[in-house]
Amino acid sequence: MLQRKLDRFLQEQRPVWIYLRDQQCWIEDALIVEILGDLVTLRHEDDDDEERSSWELSVRLESIGAVSTRLASVNRSAASEDIATTGDCPEAERLGSP
């Protein structure tokens, strides 16, 4: 089941958050680059105060404790008029004016 989820995230190129059981840490906002057998290759970026680093690491499937992905995000300070919507959205699903 986990491998199927990872395969789907690989195909969609969707950013994921992965918890590594053996290191007890989260790899945040990573892309799955490749899955070969039980080896998963991830790419993620780190921001320090003075530099930005790009990392590629390989982890075993059994080391992965959890995988999560962001479904959507909306800026809380934006007004509903600022949110991009399509014109062909059904009337019942359109955002109303506050």
Question: What is the mean pLDDT, run by run of 10 residues, along the chain of 98 residues?
Answer: 91 94 93 95 88 92 93 70 67 66
Residue 98: per-residue pLDDT:
46
| DSSP assigned state of 96 | P
Q: What is the DSSP letter of 15?
A: -
Nearest to 83 by CA among 95, 98, 70: 95
Q: Does an H or E element contain 45, and which?
A: strand 39-47
The domain 2-71 is placed in CATH, from the list 2.30.30.100, 3.40.50.2000, 3.90.78.10, 3.40.50.1860, at 2.30.30.100
pLDDT value, residue 34: 95
Q: Which H or E run contains 5? A: helix 2-12
Identify the pLDDT of residue 1. Answer: 86
Q: What pLDDT score was predicted for residue 84? A: 66
pTM score of the predicted model? 0.69
- Strand-pairing partners, residue 37, are none
Short-list 60, 91, 59, 95, CA closest to 80: 95
